[in-house]
Structure 1
């Protein structure tokens, strides 16, 4: 894991802001991995994994690189005493899901003594430069002022505005689509010549409209960020994803609406690295 950290500049990154005109990502030449060994007190029936996660620090100081750390413990359930458990924490400022896959794949290559097959690491700063320079701030601003300039109130379901808290009161339900429904959806995307994303965005716009009373709700959509970020983005860890607002007319008929939403998503892709704050400032909200 330390060898992977040594390879990639984004994994040796800290974020500094004190006494600076703006926050900066600073890459350290050397970033020793922090490893803490803990001894867990178990009772019969206890979940060792849950206990290990509870033993991890509650927060992470992003002024220190690397923004990942390791907590290990000897598994007392193992009769031979040679089994260990490890919890790896990494801050979302330095990775998205694909970055985690890259990190684990490179660790596996080192464990199997195949690190020679790994490509020369590409500097994350190349992506930073591209994301800041490919499309100017003025172009981003003009786009979001055009699509969001008329927004005068938040899209708040049931009018609930006070949503501050630690999230402990929120619940989550995951429902898997039946295979038959998924295949019907694929068939419809082919028939209409659009992506499944167009279907889901239009459907969610109707949900947002029904719960807010707005005909043109605004909600966030997540962009992968790696599709147009250079030829090495697929193998370079780092935070590429971005969340940006999209405004959809929920009153559109299905045939017309799918094409319009598909075009909106395509246009938004050109601005996928725009700062969310810039998009928020383009609205007419106070």
Structure 2
């Protein structure tokens, strides 16, 4: 386009070739597309990928660029030369090294060992001279996979080089078709990060001290009479895009990220990954890929030292239910929990939980044994959770308001031996297979002992509960939480929020969500009162506002937007 403008301004229109419609290129690409071959290739590469790669969990891939920020940097000359030398020594392209380093960054920021991201390919017919003179988009984005696994750095570089070469044979395949060949659910993006490796030009005097003074190409610097270049910007719809500009004598990194992700930080990760890659390739040892560093030294110091300098003493041998039992001994007659017109004192709550705990112990519950809890929002919810903890078990919360599919998946994965469920809970579980599970009602037998159980082998390092993720990246995953970590967190939360004897705390979050933990146990551990609003109030902002006012709630941990219009 710049060449055509220049010729027109200099009166050389007659030298211009005849315009070719972009549709000709599209038609030619379509004729030369082998859908069966594309399908085989992408199925082989992506067929067993059942989780997407989302750095920092960000999955939105239809952005308009408004919230995108960018940064630019030039790699040091020494690193540039080392990378090019190693690529030449190995007989691979520099692009192969760049792709391996980018995969490392994505693996660390997404938590995935099998990384998939988009790579930008030149989609034009390189052998077609007319194609190079067409106005239109001649690039294509396709997925590429890079497994961390047990491979060495050299093995992964060679494998990536071969995969990139094979991918070029399918450069006209559609992204939607490639994504359908994966095991990721339809409607869920396969990836949310993009790498664009491109050859371009940059005047030597535009590079100074590892930074870029004028990050524009020579073509854009051409001055035409009567035309002023105001500037321009490039954006994609992805939340994380890395453009790696190969200037022959230098390598530039342009990073685009969705706020609040810092593009400078992501650029530093890429630079560190390339530094580690060069170090590994220069070593005579077969260094495992997983040993490559992504975190820059300065950020490592911040994370491991600066932000961990504040220490707080806490009773490391204390358990969650132990905190409650101590408080129940101090204030036995104080109100502990309120649900509609029902309430329990600390003493009464402790007695109810003890009776159910002894019942569970009689059924064989031991430390770390999984016990599921599926009851409606009520006093039984609090009693059941405490009872499982007192018996030494690890409770698996199953909120009856969740879909039966999610509840069934969690139940199957956690494989509890015992299920505490009321009528609503059993109904919510639908057709879940309970044949191997002992199901008991939260209403206990009055003959059970009311004393605090003493489990000699129970310590603060045992599992308190198993919380499941939302499942946004596939299926819900269980996270095992120990007593010790929760006690530490509760003490910090109490220090921040000032929960004390008589505090009135709204228990808003679903007990299947970890946001319920401080509502329940910080309150009971420090003498506060738990208020359980029924679901019809929780889901109605005006009614919830009235509930907060009518019960003189002093602490409520909930989304501020919920009460915005009240």
Quickly name the TM-score band, shorter chain normalised.
0.5 to 0.7
CA offset at residue 111 of structure 1? 0.7
Per-residue Cα deviation, 1:160-185 (whole angstroms, up to 9, x for no partner): 33576654444322221122221221
Q: Does 1:265 align with 2:164?
A: yes
Equivalent position of 2:520 in the other structure: none
Rounded Cα–Cα distance in structure 2 between residues aligned with 1:219 and 1:230: 29
Equivalent position of 1:275 in the other structure: 174
Q: Does 1:125 align with 2:18?
A: no
Per-residue Cα deviation, 1:190-243 (whole angstroms, up to 9, x for no partner): 111111110000011111111122211000000012354623222222211011
Per-residue Cα deviation, 1:140-161 (whole angstroms, up to 9, x for no partner): 1221111111111110123333
Q: Secondary structure at the match of 1:171?
A: strand
Q: Secondary structure at the match of 2:144?
A: strand
Per-residue Cα deviation, 1:92-132 (whole angstroms, up to 9, x for no partner): xxxxxxxxxxx221011011011222233334333112211
1:196 to 94, 110, 114: 94
Q: Secondary structure at the match of 1:220?
A: strand
Change (3 A) 1:164 1:263: closer
Q: Secondary structure at the match of 2:96?
A: helix
Asked if the contact 1:130–1:229 (Cα under 8 Å) also holds between the matched residues in 2, the reply is no
Asked if the contact 2:25–2:124 (Cα under 8 Å) also holds between the matched residues in 1, the reply is no
Rounded Cα–Cα distance in structure 1 between residues aligned with 2:129 and 2:163: 25
Q: Given the two structures, how large is their TM-score scaled by the length of structure 2? A: 0.31
Asked if the contact 2:116–2:145 (Cα under 8 Å) also holds between the matched residues in 1, the reply is yes
Q: How does 1:179-190 map to 2 (within 5 A)?
A: 179-190=77-88
Change (3 A) 1:237 1:183: same
Q: Does 1:173 align with 2:71?
A: yes
Rounded Cα–Cα distance in structure 2 between residues aligned with 1:159 and 1:239: 30
Equivalent position of 2:54 in the other structure: 156
Q: Secondary structure at the match of 1:158?
A: helix
Rounded Cα–Cα distance in structure 1 between residues aligned with 2:160 and 2:67: 33
Equivalent position of 1:144 in the other structure: 42
Equivalent position of 1:207 in the other structure: 105
Asked if the contact 2:97–2:157 (Cα under 8 Å) also holds between the matched residues in 1, the reply is yes
Q: Does 1:254 align with 2:153?
A: yes
Note the residue ranges of structure 2 that are not aligned, 5 or more in a row: 186-566
Change (3 A) 1:229 1:272: farther
Q: Secondary structure at the match of 2:120?
A: strand
Rounded Cα–Cα distance in structure 2 between residues aligned with 1:116 and 1:167: 40
Rounded Cα–Cα distance in structure 2 between residues aligned with 1:215 and 1:177: 27
Change (3 A) 1:119 1:169: closer
Q: How does 1:34-183 map to 2 (within 5 A)?
A: 103-161=1-59, 166-183=64-81
Rounded Cα–Cα distance in structure 1 between residues aligned with 2:169 and 2:130: 19
Equivalent position of 2:137 in the other structure: 239
Rounded Cα–Cα distance in structure 1 between residues aligned with 2:5 and 2:61: 40
Q: Given the two structures, how large is their TM-score scaled by the length of structure 1? A: 0.59
Q: Cα RMSD (Å) of the superposition? A: 2.0
Equivalent position of 2:122 in the other structure: 224
Q: Number of paired residues?
A: 184
Change (3 A) 1:229 1:131: farther
Change (3 A) 1:163 1:188: same
Higher alpha-carbon Rg: 2
CA offset at residue 250 of structure 1? 2.5
Per-residue Cα deviation, 1:42-69 (whole angstroms, up to 9, x for no partner): xxxxxxxxxxxxxxxxxxxxxxxxxxxx
Rounded Cα–Cα distance in structure 1 between residues aligned with 2:148 and 2:11: 55
Q: Secondary structure at the match of 1:121?
A: coil
CA offset at residue 246 of structure 1? 0.4
